Structure 1
């Protein structure tokens, strides 16, 4: 018998019929002898509907009151799921985040979990009940309802699994696991049986939408085995866990990509201490996140050139800021391009295998794809290319590293 925390997202509980299907799935696990805590999101579209109601009243809803409003979405779902379980003869009990006492800080709309009182949940589990908990929400020290930000139900599930020392945290979604890349771009993409926390964090931060980044961080910190499964079909899914020797057999675990990239280039900046801070500090002060950065010393040794990337939504504002600051510094030219994408190889096997970068560059060169920028870490290589080459580039790399084939055992 295992203690399992299961999380079902908005699509999985998007209608009464789907909630009934979730109840059937929960019962199948319970019939195997497992103790179950089930975390649910609001029904698909409900959070957007509630935000729309708030915006119909005011363009700037008070953050505290917005949290009070948004938390009602999950309250509907937990009640309906418990009704469905009880109807099937399964004892169950629902809890809001505050009833469990998921204590958070007071950062409304993006709160962080500080601790969880698991006493009530454990008592119900010991009494043979399935516990159904509202995801995405908690309560601060003053008793105010808080929410964890978009995708926060994943974080609720992982945090509960950590507090309860659960054997596994299962994230049920509309895909049946983590793939080597997006199957919509590469139909031959393969579902991974296992992936490390490190790799999943990189994949999530680089554009993969399967899991919310904070939940993966939390799982890695507290060593909570995570499994991604489909709500709509049976299967083993993908286990996210710590690295083992078998994982090193695979050079590359997956290819992530991000379409939301833009780059800004500043040429002819005086080569003096503090220049990078002046340029990028103005961008940071505007709460614009900078991703990749390249700096080159010009042939005259008196000036330097900067290129950096930002999210495409921030491009116009960042370009305006940089033009102003660069003008004050006497830079020669400022240019930008918001028709670029980032493609990234991710794999713990990079630590112990050479030649991955050259294979990547050769595969792109064969397709006539010019690389604009390169960034590396211990388990990642990212390149920026023109937007029109995204799908061609991903397919070429998927073929070059034979990702449609499972790695051979050592």
Structure 2
């Protein structure tokens, strides 16, 4: 996952009576998406581990192909799209409408505060538990601490397997702080707003098309198998998800309050996106077209779903589902859940707690949820939340924030 749920930032949303209300609604919607994605990620990895444990290699641990498609639906692209959309939005508004942006150092400082404390701690704890004697697999440790394990065919899934996507997330931050200001400067001399939108959209389209070309050449030109992780999991293949999210940010900034969807168009569009994601998962089989281009295609469908959720005139029952308290609570702790669910699952399996065989899969899934969610909640309040308070040490211009004592109450 990343991708995991990174940070909380502004996004599009339905107009309401105050400025604060739309921001709260957007944040709840995004937390709902994160909660759904976190649940799906845990289910997917339990399915994946059962697939590996049973070792027969050709079928998911359910005989029903519909349920198999649901469990094998990957949501990593949702996290990529969400992250890119939220983080690019301020740059898109600055390039198109001349608004201001935060300094790169402030952006990177807050991103580091958001992800590093928990990540570094988890890597050290899990690595130490699996390498009781020194020097252990020191290369694996170094690669994980430097976010370079995504470029290692052997160690990409070591220690914290899902965090290969976090390497791409960190790389995206660096790309964004380089390309964002460049786009703002490139658009500044353009007098027509349509020209500025076109420049931003063209850049996003190029960043989306490049990974498509890479995948096509690797698969059809050189016959590289899908198990070559560095080729198909690296940024050159997976950046399309970020590019799609950047494109959504440009679209949202370009439209502003115009073109918001009514319920009669928003709900069918959201349903169409969900149906497309399900069909993509159902039809994917090793080496076929849907499998080969699954991630860039899924990213576009996630864009459609998010757009039909945030760029609306009024809220619908879909928003009610997304903003359910239990789901937004999961969204709040989703990064911790992303970090800890695999170590928790593997420890449960090692202890013999998880039932074996296909018939035991539903119970195993329930047990992992019951163990991983409380662990993630504790991790959020003990590690994530206190670390996030450090982000307040600097103001929006990247300068140290001055704190003054509260005046005495008379």
Query: Is the structural similarity TM-score above 0.5?
Result: no
TM-score of the pair, normalised by structure 1: 0.29
Which structure dedicates a bigger proportion of its chain to helix?
2
Relative to its length, the structure with more strand (as a share) is: 1
Is the radius of gyration larger for structure 1 or structure 2?
Answer: 1
Q: Report 1 or 2 for greater relative contact order, CA contacts < 8 Å, sequence distance ≥ 6.
A: 2
